[in-house]
Amino acid sequence: MYIGDYLARRELYSPDRLAIIDTGKTPEWRLTFRQMNGRANRLANWLRDVAGVGRGDRVAILAHDGVEHLDTFFACGKLGAIHTALNWRLHPQELAGIVAATTPKVLIFSAELAEKVAALQALLVGRPEAIATYVHTEGNGVGGSAHFETALQSAPDTPVTTDDLEAEDIAALIFTGGTTGLPKAAQVSHRMIAWNTLNTVIHDVTHDDVFLNVFPMFHTGGLFVYTLPQIIFGGATILMRQFDPARVLELIERERVTIFGAVPTMYQLIAQAPNWATADLSSLRFCTSGGAPLPVPLVEQYTREKGIRFKQGFGMTEFGPGIFALAPEDAIRKAGSIGRPNFYVDARIVDDDNNFLGPDEEGELVLKGPSYCSGYFGDPAASAAAVDARGYFHTGDVARFDAEGYFTIVDRKKDMYISGGENVYPAEIEKALYEHPAVLMCAVIGLPDPKWGEMGRACVVLKPGAAADEAELLAFMAARLARYKVPRSVVFRAALPISAAGKILKRELRDEYIGLS
């Protein structure tokens, strides 16, 4: 089995090296590659012999971050089955829609989500796509569910392989949507994982790295950005059950973490943690930021106070997820840029007629390369529509590149709003707002307006102890932006709605204010 059985290969090379620290367990679990491979073999045997899971079957997991996510992923790899991680923020009705679309045979879930799973069970009663086997990771679970660790203990650790598994076989489904609507399931092949790992290693990873993961494992950031490359390369990965800024700082210092990745909102919260001033972060080779532009004042604060080198980048579920990288030496000089394409990625900008554009021209970002996914599960129409006749994947991002080949995301097409006939991109406005010393977090949304079609509203969270009013921030933006880009209003909030992946949920904000109007 030359591909798919990642842990068997890694155990062969470094059986006794530390693989995983699961800090969500009490006491914490510290597992070697030999122990991880043993767990994956036991689970694979149980899934095959008890739950009837075979090649191509889906195994779903609905759980906060923990080693069970990796047990499930690697057991699926041994069986040729498909790991299907579900977003625990979703409503049972939304989960039922995803289950109907993906028809998993098994659902593994954590105890704190048992009530949600019971509601899902009730919705699936009598339906042909009903899940046959439920497994809980701790606690009492729900009626009829097996216990995860008991299942592992009852199964042999004899090796499980699928010898005819090929690179194009699907390893996982990762869902692309937010918290409303039915998201599409990107098919992550073993080929995609291999090429993403190569792109990551070229830019980032060594054999001795220690990576702290704070992204949810249902997200491409949690499972594929560094976690899988670390397993393949033989490094250690630390798992947190949920993001906690103060705990992040403690773990970086205690475990001498060398790589840490987060989104800008997480970095802002970490810098506000009570132990920020005393935390020793000297072990970090670099930090990675993605998901949105990293505000320059934040880069400067981390550099000044902690000596941190930032690598910024850009990725997406369907492609990699490591697509672009911005080197630390460019963090200030090229602030706002996502950097240059990674080694095996072709990136272009096209106009509305799909013609290639040159430097400094804005258009849609399109991508081509071997780390692209295998389309969307059960949706051939969407799969075909995403890729043009030349083989380029259309991202839906408005972007441009400069004469040096550095790309900048102007905004998501869906985030753009039109005010008085002009396209307005919130990311540009937010970048200006972050230059104000009182602004901790911000999000700009477009709201319906009878005269202009849509007008902007800036939603702002101020730094603790800082003060600013609406007039001050409007004037601040007016001094930096064209008049039509300046939002009509500013509202101050105690917090912004943030997804499990750490991204600001603009759709929730927009729906909230439309509902109040």
CB < 8 Å & 24+ apart, contacts of 299-305: 299/331, 299/332, 299/335, 300/332, 301/271, 302/267, 302/271, 303/331, 305/276, 305/277
Please report the domains of the chain, with CATH numbers, ordered by start residue.
Answer: 32-189 (3.40.50.12780), 243-412 (3.40.50.12780), 417-516 (3.30.300.30)
Is 463 a residue whose pLDDT tops 70? yes
Is 397 a residue whose pLDDT tops 80? yes
Is 181 a residue whose pLDDT tops 50? no
Split at pLDDT 50, 70, 90, the class of 483 is confident
What is the overall mean pLDDT for the chain? 91
- Half-sphere CA count of 513, side-chain side, radius 13 A: 25
Is 443 within 8 Å of 509 (Cβ atoms)? yes
According to the model, what pLDDT value does residue 167 have? 96
How many Å separate Cα 124 from the centre of its chain?
Answer: 28
Per-residue pLDDT, averaged over 189-193, amounts to 96
Q: What would the pLDDT profile of 250-274 be if each residue is shown by its tens digit?
A: 999 999 999 999 988 889 889 999 9
Is 491 within 8 Å of 460 (Cβ atoms)? yes
Rounded distance between C-alpha atoms, residue 149 and residue 477, angstroms? 55
Q: What would the pLDDT profile of 86-111 be if each residue is shown by its tens digit?
A: 988 888 887 898 999 999 999 999 98
How many Å separate Cα 464 from the centre of its chain?
Answer: 28
Split at pLDDT 50, 70, 90, the class of 421 is low
Identify the CA nearest to 239 among candidates 422, 398, 29, 411.
Answer: 29
According to the model, what pLDDT value does residue 462 have? 96
pTM to 2 decimal places: 0.83
Is 21 a residue whose pLDDT tops 50? yes
Is 179 a residue whose pLDDT tops 70? no
According to the model, what pLDDT value does residue 246 have? 98
Burial per residue of 401-425, b for 16 or more beta-carbon CB atoms within 10 angstroms, e otherwise: beeeebbbbbbeeebbbebeeeebb
- Per DSSP, 277 falls in state T
Per-residue pLDDT, averaged over 50-78, amounts to 97
Q: What would the pLDDT profile of 23-42 be if each residue is shown by its tens digit?
A: 999 999 999 999 999 999 99
According to the model, what pLDDT value does residue 517 have? 55
Is 116 a residue whose pLDDT tops 50? yes
Rounded distance between C-alpha atoms, residue 259 and residue 311, angstroms? 10
How many Cβ atoms sit within 10 Å of the Cβ of residue 72?
28
Split at pLDDT 50, 70, 90, the class of 352 is confident
Is 180 a residue whose pLDDT tops 50? no
Of residues 437 and 412, more confidently modeled: 437
In this prediction, what percent of the chain has a pLDDT beyond 90? 70
